[in-house]
Amino acid sequence: MPIESTGDVQLTKPIYELGVTGVFTKQLDIALLNNEADIAVHSLKDVPTKLADGLALVATLERGAHEDVLLLKRTTLIENNDTEGTIATSSLRRQAQWLSEYKKHKVVPIRGNVQTRLRKFYEDEQMDGVIFAKAGLDRLGLLPDDAVVLDWMLPAPAQGIVGIICRDDDSDMAEACKMINYQPSFIEGSIERQFMRTLMGGCSVPISAFATIQGNEIDFKAAVHAFNGSKSFNIHRVLMLDEWQNAGKESAGKLLALHGAADLVEEIRNKQK
């Protein structure tokens, strides 16, 4: 039986205005808890950092592309930071980072699945560019050759990772799923999600995080931005791999210790209430 999420059905508002935790996962959570399904497969960046009671993240697949990409109607849009333009995205993280770089641009929301957003972008003459997760376009075979990889933009926590969730009392299913688990991606995604959870972040906050395993070390970068891109706080840490289980929490604490960072995080939290 097909299941439609709130995020797929409600397309008239930006995601951050829906007022629902897990807009792409809640209906599948209910199906799992009602024993109507045995596993749920998600883009892990869409999964709330606090899972519903009774559910557990049991496996991840190898991470795909973590970057965001920009599709353009005119390349001059990004050749000069003083050029005016309109960028489409419903991600507050992308909006904040974009406006921090291109202060004269306007950001407008765009909703729908990948194909719908592509259609809306090409049909709307007011939109000059649109931002997508590269992994989504890659997996659907829809990544244009002229897409601009935004390697300066930090991704959403767990972007590019596919996660598998099941009931935490279903040990047989958990063991079966763990057979396809890719542990490096599981560790990286866990660190990034723990960082966001410690800051009380979700899909509708401008928080970014990216961990990469390099031998016995973890390279971790993260940031929190004001909604309008006017200010931001960034951290970059290198940790030992065996420290991964608390790395996200500790990194969030170090970011909050930066002068002014706690005030910005509190401002973001208050705007989400």
- Residues serving a catalytic function are 46
- The Cβ-side half-sphere exposure at 215, using a 13 Å CA radius, reads 3
Q: How many residues does the chain have?
A: 273
How far, CA to CA in Å, does 49 sit from each of 85, 95, 135, 266?
Answer: 34, 21, 20, 18
Q: What is the 3-state secondary structure (H, E, C) of 62-121?
A: CCCCCCEEEEECCHHHHCCCCCCEEEECCCHHHHHHHHHHCCCEEEECCCCCHHHHHHHH
User: And the tokens for 108?
Assistant: 């407008």
**Which element (helix H / strand E) includes 41?**
strand 39-43
The CA-based diameter of the chain, rounded to the nearest angstrom, is 58
